[in-house]
A and B are shown apart, each in its own frame.
Chain A
Amino acid sequence: MTDTTLDNTVPAARTSPFPLKKAAALGALLLALLAAPIAIGDQFISHIFITIFIFAGLSTAWNIVGGYAGQLSLGHAIFYGIGAYAGVMLMNMGISPWLGMFAGAAVSVVVAVAISYPCFRLRGPFFSLATIAFLEVFRVLALHLREFTGGATGLMIPLKFGWEWMVFRDRTPALLIAFGLLVVALAVAWWIRSHRLGFYLVATRERQSAAQAAGVNTVKVRLIAVSASAALTAFIGTFHAMYLTFIEPAAMFSLTMSIQIAMFALIGGLGTVIGPLVGALFLVPLSELARGWLGAQALGLHGFVYGVVLVLVVLFMPNGLMGILSRYLGNATPQRGTQSASVAATPRAAERPPIGNDILIADHLDKHFAGLHVTNDVSFSLKEGEILGLIGPNGAGKTTVFNMLSGFLKPDSGSVKVRTEDGSWQAPLTPGDFAAIGVGRTFQIVQPFAAMTVEENIMVGAFHRYRDVNDAREAARETAFRMGLGPWLHAEARGLTIGGLKRLEVARVMAMKPRILLLDEVMAGINQTDVRRAIDLMLSIRDSGVSIIAIEHVMQAVMSLSDRVVVLNSGQIIAEGKPQNVVRDPHVIEAYLGKEFTHAQA
């Protein structure tokens, strides 16, 4: 057995997630994209590039909501159209579109928040349907409010040329502006992804409950994402209106375009920063060229190709082109076999701190579900510095109690009180409240934030304590090494064995530096050697001053870990006390094995 980890020197941080090589490559690509049409000088080529930049920008902006946050909006053209109409309408009143852009963006943000907030609770396809419905409403309203929008006949911009009006005779300035907008969109997308907001968004998308338990305000972060996305989309809409010089409702509030910008992001790679750009680069020239060469005969051809490509991508490469690229560039996936070997024993302090006073009190908790009395007058307390085991046969209601101890369920009556660091008692209500007061919990069914590395998973917890990405990263690395996950910091979380995943779950919570830890069956499903190591780990956590409540079935663990044990059966507490005594209690034996069994043994 190799003891490689657990000296206290944590190896130096690896390079940041956007390493120099990648940034240089991207920069070179972008410069080439700008230089090529300027060098070629052909108007049609410039037009294609402008269209690429526009759609890449729109798609990048969409990806903030659709990719990072996972909310598949198929009505994003709402914001595009708002930007366009704001720009044109204000220009007709003599106001420069540069200002109109911001007016459009402001309106878009308001609309975005108003639409999204009630719709977030809708599951995937229905959220998409709702966005489509909203888009249709806007299109019809644009048609109807003729006095403002020109109705079906549309609106033309007054032909004023120059930088002030964003309208030019030559295509080059438009090229520059479009490129600039794309760069802005990419910058915003990159910034979000590499800072706390991005982590929170992905965590919310992957596993909302775990994110909430980590203290993430899942509604707020999504509203921020939606606002940023809407504003960017509106900017581009204003510019594009100037470029097209003529707008009308069907083209501005177009379902087809909404689908296209989502499509580019998927084909390029949802949730990556440059995926949408790659997708647009791949598909836009295809359609523009087809339209240019084949003309009217090609009507529908590019759309057909888009549709087919989309279906094929979904079926065969759901991670898009970026997914394929990153596989070639190599990502370390740990070999399953080697993991158990290097997880060393965790050294412990020679003495554990003494058990103190009550730190969490569950008071007469009661809960009914669909006519069943799942929790019946449950009262117990957790003392500071102790490990309390919560055991009971299948269906006894242990996880229900946990859910009430962490804000995921409200008890019908009774309360949960937690002692804060300064000694006062509070009754937290939501998962966020519990996280804020220092209660962390794991979940029985272990699922990592699949799209992230081990380090990033833990960072989601660390962000509860540290706003800055680098601080959070440092804290996550420390926690990873303490939990024995050091060697897998940069591996994809979903490649871990079940033992590793359970450790990761605990690591993420520990990175929040909780005072109280609720562990839900962390020993389940792991092999014997891992059980022993997990027991050592839990003891070291306890020694660091954390009070623990652990739901467990693995009796070996319960016996060696718990200071006290509470036994739950059919929603009621039937025994409480030292583990050796509880296990010999006839009521407990009866609950697990049946009354007649004990008699048969007698």
Chain B
Amino acid sequence: MLRLEGIHAGYGATTILHGISLNVQAGEVVTIVGANGAGKTTTLRTVAGLIKPTAGRITFEGRDITRLPAHEVVDLGITLIPEGRQLFADMTVHENLLMGAYRAEARAKQKDTLDQVLSLFPRVRERLSQSAGSLSGGEQQMVAIARGMMARPRLLMFDEPSLGLAPIIVQQVFDVIDTIVRTGATVLIVEQNVFHTLKAADRGYVLENGEIVLSDSSDALLTNDHVRQAYLGI
């Protein structure tokens, strides 16, 4: 469904990704793990169109999307739930969810999607008319995920969903991700918290200094020493 070939990308003078290639098949759950600064977030932002790669190709369902601007990437059905939630703090939860359904395909089915999503997130339903900025970190993450799902995405990408959250909340977040996964969605997760994400995924890539050093099934990666090395240098 999604294929990256030889992608080089970065910010300004800095190149973070040095020729990475990976793919995600429809219905799969794939994760990218790696230490901070390895380039995980850069990878997702490049797929989402927020960063233009300096070399390489990205194809989605056969279409070349390398040079597409971010809003058009969303139109095609790729939704990124960004690092740090990035909710519209001055809008209510309800408005945030409505913004999630901005793309044309989602807007048409807005009402139904809202019902479906809220049934998955009962706590969000309770807080619909609250200002998004007033919620706790965990609640915000739930809203961010719900908002992402309002777009009825074909490919859903998560950027460090556990960032800054207490361990109990992290468990809840991954429970929700599990539920989403079970509906057959195609998911790409980037995480620093390795255990949860490898448990949830089918396959994983290990990213080190902007290069893919390992690619395997997530079960294999769980027992692989190289993963520990990538994070702690030992």
Interface residues of A (CB under 8 A from B): 393-395, 496-498, 501, 521, 524-525, 527-528, 553-556, 558-559, 583-584, 588-589, 592-597, 600-601
Contacts and interface: CB of A to CB of B under 8 A. Distances in A.
A269 to B, nearest CB: 24
A595 B194 CA distance: 10
Given A498-B13, A597-B194, A584 B234 contact: yes
Contacts of A600: 195, 222-223
B183 interface: no
B232 A592 contact: yes
B223 A594 contact: no
Contact of A553 (B10, B16, B18, B36): B36
Given A498-B13, A524-B37, A594-B193, A394 B163 contact: yes
A394 B233 contact: no
18 contacts: A498-B14, A527-B209, A553-B35, A553-B37, A555-B231, A555-B232, A559-B233, A583-B233, A593-B193, A593-B194, A593-B195, A594-B193, A595-B195, A596-B195, A596-B196, A596-B199, A597-B195, A600-B223
B164 interface: yes
Nearest to B232: A583
Nearest to B35: A553
B92 interface: no
B228 A554 contact: no
A525 B232 contact: no
A394 B161 CA distance: 13
A38 B223 CA distance: 90
B37 A554 contact: yes
B223 to A, nearest CB: 7
Interface residues of B, number: 28
Residue among A525, A558, A583 with most chain B CB within 10 A: A525
Contacts, number: 75
A596 B162 CA distance: 14
A594 B37 contact: no
Nearest to B191: A594
Given A393-B36, A395-B164, A553-B36, A496 B223 contact: no
Contacts of B160: 394
B232 A594 contact: no
Contacts of B59: none
Contact of A555 (B13, B14, B222, B233): B233
A525 to B, nearest CB: 5
B130 interface: no
A593 B10 CA distance: 25
Interface in B2-41: 10, 13-16, 18, 35-37
Contacts of B15: 498, 525
Contacts of A584: 234
Contact of B13 (A393, A496, A558, A593): A496
B30 to A, nearest CB: 18
Contacts of A501: 13
Interface string B131-158: 0000000000000000000000000000
B209 A528 contact: yes
B192 interface: yes
Contact of A592 (B18, B164, B231): B231
Contacts of B193: 593-594
